């Protein structure tokens, strides 16, 4: 899958990660994206107000982006589902 198949979502997600890194003093180095710890921090802290399903979508999309860009996708643990009523 090419990142173009993600449409504008890939660019939007990458801008969000870059903004998160900049706001947290991590700089704008693209190699930051290859760190699962930074990605998880973004998903937990940067997307704190988003639903777990949205975080899962971002996790999947970032994995696809990294797979295409780095030639090897990263594995992330799944989101914890919300407790049932």
pLDDT in tens, 10-29: 788 888 888 898 888 887 66
Summarize the chain as % helix, strand, coil (round to 5).
65, 0, 35
**Rounded-to-integer distance, Cα 43 and Cα 48, Å:** 7
In this structure, what token pair is assigned to residue 1? 């899958």
**Rounded-to-integer distance, Cα 69 and Cα 1, Å:** 11
Q: What's the pLDDT tens digit per position in 39-57?
A: 889 999 999 999 988 888 8
In this structure, what token pair is assigned to residue 85? 């009523």
Can you give the pTM of this predicted structure?
A: 0.67
Tell me the CA distances in angstroms from 38 to 6, 18, 44, 54, 84, one per residue in order.
Answer: 21, 11, 10, 17, 29
């Amino acid at each position: 899958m090419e990142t173009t198949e993600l449409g504008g979502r890939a660019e939007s997600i990458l801008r969000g990660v870059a903004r998160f890194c900049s706001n947290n003093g991590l700089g704008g180095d693209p190699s930051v994206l290859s760190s699962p710890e930074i990605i998880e921090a973004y998903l937990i802290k940067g997307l704190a107000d988003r639903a777990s399903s949205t975080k899962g979508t971002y996790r999947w999309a970032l994995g696809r982006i990294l797979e295409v860009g780095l030639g090897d996708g990263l594995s992330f643990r799944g989101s914890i589902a919300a407790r049932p009523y």
